[in-house]
Amino acid sequence: MKVLFTHPDFTRVGHCQAILEEAGIACFIRNESTQNLLAGLPDTAAQPVLCVTEDADAPRAMELLRDFSAAEKQIEAEENSDEWKCPQCGETVPGNFGSCWKCDALRG
Binding residues (CB under 5 A) for Zn ion: these are 86, 88-89, 91, 100, 102-103, 105
Q: Which is nearer to Zn ion, 51 or 93 (CB)?
A: 93
Q: Which is nearer to Zn ion, 5 or 84 (CB)?
A: 84
Q: Which is nearer to Zn ion, 40 or 98 (CB)?
A: 98
In the complex, minimum distance from the CB of residue 103 to Zn ion, in angstroms, rounded to a whole number: 3
Q: Secondary structure of 51-74 in the HEC alphabet?
A: EECCHHHHHHHHHHHHHHHHHHHH
In the complex, minimum distance from the CB of residue 76 to Zn ion, in angstroms, rounded to a whole number: 23
Q: Are 63 and 57 a contacting pair, CB within 8 Å?
A: no
DSSP single-letter state for residue 79 = H
Q: Which is nearer to Zn ion, 13 or 100 (CB)?
A: 100
Burial class (CB in 10 A: 0-12, 13-18, 19+), 65: middle
In the complex, minimum distance from the CB of residue 95 to Zn ion, in angstroms, rounded to a whole number: 15
In the complex, minimum distance from the CB of residue 84 to Zn ion, in angstroms, rounded to a whole number: 10
d(Cα 97, Cα 83) in Å, to the nearest integer?
A: 9
